[in-house]
Structure 1
Amino acid sequence: MEVIFLPKSWNVDQILDDLDQHGFAIIDNVYPTNYRQALVNECSSHLNEFREAGIQNGIVSNIRSDHILWINDNLNIAQHHIETLKQLSSTLNRAFYLGINDIEAHFACYNAGEFYALHRDNPQGKNGRMISAVYYLHEQWQENWGGQLHLQDKNNQWHNIQPKPNRIAMFQSDLLHEVIEAKHQRLSITAWLRSDQQLL
């Protein structure tokens, strides 16, 4: 298996400090243009396979309206991103003793008018999600297009994080957050760094 290293553009010390102090970190200029474009192409070519995320086991939820596609071994380009997050997980485990041993992830598409209301990815420690990581795939974004990640940090301060292309927003999975209604198609990979085996 190919050995994946963290990109040189990632300031790991800053990531660790931000997670420690605030519970979230922002990574910009995540990947080189050629890989990012390949990832965008892989996501876009599978959009017809996405399903409504607001429907779970046949039950409709009003909390979200985006569409998702779980990432499996057949999505070869996205697997590189998963392997990169695994490398970061090793660093997080050494720093914070999180016990991360697995990654679950899906592509997400927010079309105009779609949103995800306030929630926690791991409410009251009910699942193994330790860190959430959202990588923004779209090729351009304007502030008036909405789609921001509205996040309450560990100090109870609120932040509006712009979904800038080639950015990762990473945060503790127990933090309260929402995705503001998008006014333009918004593409991403949402991943969870878990301390248990993923349950799809």
Structure 2
Amino acid sequence: MRGDDIHWFTAGDHSESAYLAWMEQFRQALNRRLFLGLFDYECHFARYAAGSYYKKHLDAFRGRSNRVLSTVFYLNEGWAAADGGQLLIYNDSDEVVASVNPEMGTLVVFLSENVPHEVAVAHRQRHSVAGWFRVNASIGAHIDPPL
């Protein structure tokens, strides 16, 4: 299904903390402008070796997750289309409606439970930060996501 290696971000690392702070500002702006009720953000660094991919999937299943918006931030300098590793985005008819080259500085944001997507086979090492803005799905005394 997937062939990437991941590392979850924490506030303890300076670079990771800076990225999390940037996404916190983005979360607040989204809530102010779009009234999404986003509660927090989680993310991980993803490294795809040459030959790796991630088959078509959703980041959340309808009504079963608190993930609302998915983000992918690319860290690849000098990426060419021939390098593969594109993010392929599908519509409800199973047609590719967008193909995004994983070029340095590109940020992609989409609805987690509504947008099927995949990572095409990468022909060289590919790096990104994949993340999810979540809503508070707390019930009773159970905090979800945990603080």
TM range (shorter): 0.7 to 0.9
**Relative CO higher for 1 or 2, CA cutoff 8 Å, sep ≥ 6?**
2
Distance 2:3 2:69 in 1: 23
Match of 1:161 in 2: 100
Match of 1:176 in 2: 116
Match of 1:83 in 2: 21
**2:8 is matched by which residue type in structure 1?**
W
**2:2 is matched by which residue type in structure 1?**
R
TM-score, normalised by the number of residues in structure 1: 0.63
Residue number among 43, 61, 65 corresponding to 1:105 in the alignment: 43
Match of 2:129 in 1: 189
**Displacement after TM superposition at 1:146 (Å):** 0.5
Q: Give the share of equivalent positions with the same residue, in percent.
A: 33
**Structure (1/2) with the larger strand percentage:** 2
**Displacement after TM superposition at 1:157 (Å):** 6.3
TM-score, normalised by the number of residues in structure 2: 0.85
Distance 1:184 1:91 in 2: 35
Unaligned runs of 5+ in 2: 137-143
CA RMSD of aligned residues (A): 1.9
Equivalent pairs counted in the alignment come to 137
Unaligned runs of 5+ in 1: 1-62
**Structure (1/2) with the larger helix percentage:** 1
Structure 1 residue ranges, 4+ long, deviating more than 4 angstroms after superposition: 153-157
Task: Report if aligned partners of 1:103, 1:198 keep a CA contact under 8 Å in 2.
Answer: no
**2:130 is matched by which residue type in structure 1?**
T
